[in-house]
Amino acid sequence: QVTLRESGPALVKPTQTLTLTCTFSGFSLSTSRMCVTWIRQPPGKALEWLARIDWDDDKYYSTSLKTRLTISKDTSKNQVVLTMTNMDPVDTATYYCARIRSGSYFFDSWGQGTLVTVSS
Amino acid sequence: QTVVTQEPSFSVSPGGTVTLTCGLSSGSVSTNSFPSWYQQTPGQAPRTLIYTTNTLSSGVPDRFSGSILGNKAALTITGAQADDESDYYCVLYMGSGISLFGGGTKLTVL
C-alpha cells in the first residue's frame, strides 16, 4: 500500500524560505520509473504543479516558479524535500506530494496535504 | 505561456450525462499529452479518476470515461449521481518532465 505524508511549518513569514518534507512508504525512489511530485492549491483556487524528482535524480520545475524551488530526495529515509524561497502571502496554499511513474505521467497516489500560511 | 483550459462550471441533472473538456490555449490535446482527470471534494485531497486518456483508475465507477473529442480531452459522466458533485481537474503532460493542471470545473448535480 502506497502512502505519502507531507510535513512542514503551518506558518511562515514573508521573505522566509519554506521547507516541506514528503515521507512515503510502499515504494522506493531507487526503483526505476518512480517519481515524486509536489502540487499546491491556494484556498478556493485551482491545483498547480510545482516540481518533480525522479528515481535517477532528474529534477523538473514549474516554469513560473523554478527560480524559487529546489527539490531533493533522501532515498534511505524515503523522503522528498521541497524548498521554496522568498515566500509571499500569495504562496499560502495546501501543499500536496504525490507519486508519479515516469512514462505514465499521472499522479496515482496522493498525500493528504499540508496547509501553509504566509503571514507576518 | 501555455494554459490548460476547462469550463469553470457545469450543471447536470441526476441521471444525466455530462462531458467536461480540457484544452490548450494554443494547440491541440492528443493522447501524447497523457491526459488525466482528478476529482476533488472540499477539504479532501484529489482522487485519480482517469489516466492516459481513457484508463479508469482502480475503484472508479464505470460511469466515468475519458476520451479525446476533437482537439480536447474529455471526461464524460454517464448517469450522474449526487455524490459526483465535485471539482474536476485535468492534467496534461507538456514534455520535459512538466505537467500542467487545468483551472478546474465545478460540477453541480441538480
**What is the CA angle A5-A2-B60, rounded to 5?**
105
Any CB–CB contact under 8 A between B48 and chain A?
yes
Q: What pLDDT is recorded for position A12?
A: 98
Choose from B60, B91, B94 for mutation: most chain A CBs within 10 A.
Answer: B91
Q: Tens of pLDDT along A14-33?
A: 999 999 999 999 999 999 99
- Cβ of B93 within 8 Å of Cβ of A105? The answer is yes
Q: What pLDDT is recorded for position A102?
A: 85
pLDDT at A80 exceeding the cut of 90: yes
Mean pLDDT across A103-108: 91
Mean pLDDT across B74-96: 97
Q: What pLDDT is recorded for position B34?
A: 96
pLDDT at B87 exceeding the cut of 90: yes
- With a CB cutoff of 8 Å and minimum separation 6, the contacts of B59 are none
pLDDT at A103 exceeding the cut of 90: no
- DSSP helix/strand/coil, B74: strand
Q: Tens of pLDDT along B27-57?
A: 899 999 999 999 999 999 999 999 999 999 9
Q: What pLDDT is recorded for position A104?
A: 85
Cα gap A39→A105, rounded to integer Å: 14
| CB-CB neighbors (< 8 A) of B40 in chain A | 47
Any CB–CB contact under 8 A between A105 and chain B?
yes
Any CB–CB contact under 8 A between B10 and chain A?
no
The pLDDT mean for chain A works out to 97
**Following DSSP, what letter does each residue of B77-103 receive, concatenated?**
EES--GGG-SEEEEEEEEETTEEEE--
pLDDT at B1 exceeding the cut of 90: no
**What is the CA angle B76-B80-B84, rounded to 5?**
90
Residue A57 pLDDT grade (very low, low, confident, very high; cuts 50, 70, 90): very high
What is the C-alpha R_g of chain B?
13
> Within chain B, how many helices (H) and strands (E) appear?
0, 11
Choose from B98, B100, B101, B106 for mutation: most chain A CBs within 10 A.
Answer: B98
**Following DSSP, what letter does each residue of A58-118 receive, concatenated?**
-EEE-TTTTTTEEEEEEGGGTEEEEEE-S--GGG-EEEEEEEEETTT-SEEEE---EEEEE
Cross-chain CB nearest to A113 (options B38, B45, B52): B45
